[in-house]
């Protein structure tokens, strides 16, 4: 998938309020692996939310494989994201009443991208790849921060998205596990 962000800006509040992102432009080609770095509070997470079509920019355009995602209806955008974009959010944001396997399968089940049986088979496969095969039936409150982070990575990969946006995907991980996750991504 190609991504073209053209002069993206995001302001919160009135015109004189906080400008979280100013005039950001970026082109990413198929197979590219890039990092967005900056100080805390510099707008990285806001930029990532705009790049993933979660947050509408105050100005600018976002083209994903040539589609201007903000010309799509909210429903069409949700379907587009489900099929094309995976997210590892800054915080794992797991559903506390679901097991690790359920949390990983949710995007495939809600997006109807595959039958439930296939979604759970893939969820178990991904949990094994992130070193959590034995924790598939564990609930988030019984998992460490690093385990929750790895569940979030597996969840982002469930639909094999052509675009993966990961906001601090290796925070909470030890050096060896961090390397394994980067290799997987």
Q: For residue 153, give its domain range.
A: 88-184
Percent of the chain exceeding pLDDT 70 equals 99
CATH for 58? 3.40.50.300
Same domain, 178 and 114: yes
Same domain, 94 and 39: no
Same domain, 11 and 67: yes
Q: Are 36 and 43 in contact (CB under 8 A)?
A: no
| Residue 56 to residue 104: CA distance in whole angstroms | 26
Same domain, 147 and 98: yes
With respect to residue 130, please indicate whether it lies within any of the assigned structural domains.
yes
Same domain, 56 and 31: yes
Same domain, 146 and 174: yes
With respect to residue 128, please indicate whether it lies within any of the assigned structural domains.
yes
Count of domains for the chain: 2
Same domain, 99 and 162: yes
pTM: 0.89
The predicted model gives 4-31 an average pLDDT of 90
pLDDT tens string 112-140: 889 999 999 999 999 999 999 999 999 99
Q: List the one residue out of 147, 78, 83 whose CA is nearest residue 114.
A: 83
Bridge partners of 88, per DSSP, are 166
CA-based angle 114:86:161, to the nearest 5? 55
Helix (H) or strand (E) holding 86, with range, is strand 85-88
Q: List the one residue out of 159, 63, 52 whose CA is nearest residue 106.
A: 159
pLDDT of residue 15: 63
With respect to residue 77, please indicate whether it lies within any of the assigned structural domains.
no
pLDDT of residue 111: 84
pLDDT tens string 155-185: 999 999 999 999 988 888 999 999 999 988 8
Same domain, 56 and 138: no
């Amino acid at each position: 998938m190609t991504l073209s962000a053209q002069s993206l800006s995001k302001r919160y509040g009135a015109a004189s309020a906080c400008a979280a992102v100013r005039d950001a432009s970026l082109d990413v080609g198929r197979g590219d692996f890039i990092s967005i770095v900056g100080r805390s509070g510099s707008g990285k997470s806001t930029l990532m939310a705009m790049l993933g079509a979660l947050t509408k920019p105050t100005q600018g355009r976002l083209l994903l494989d040539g589609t201007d995602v903000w010309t799509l209806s909210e429903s069409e955008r949700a379907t587009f994201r489900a099929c094309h974009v995976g997210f590892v959010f800054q915080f794992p944001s797991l559903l506390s009443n679901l097991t690790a396997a359920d949390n990983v399968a949710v995007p495939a089940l809600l997006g109807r991208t595959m039958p439930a049986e296939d979604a759970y088979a893939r969820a178990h496969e991904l949990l094994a790849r992130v070193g959590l095969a034995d924790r598939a039936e564990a609930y988030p409150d019984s998992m460490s921060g690093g385990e929750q982070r790895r569940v979030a990575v597996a969840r982002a990969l469930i639909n094999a998205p052509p675009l993966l946006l990961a906001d601090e995907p290796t925070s909470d991980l030890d050096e060896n596990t961090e390397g394994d996750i980067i290799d997987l991504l």
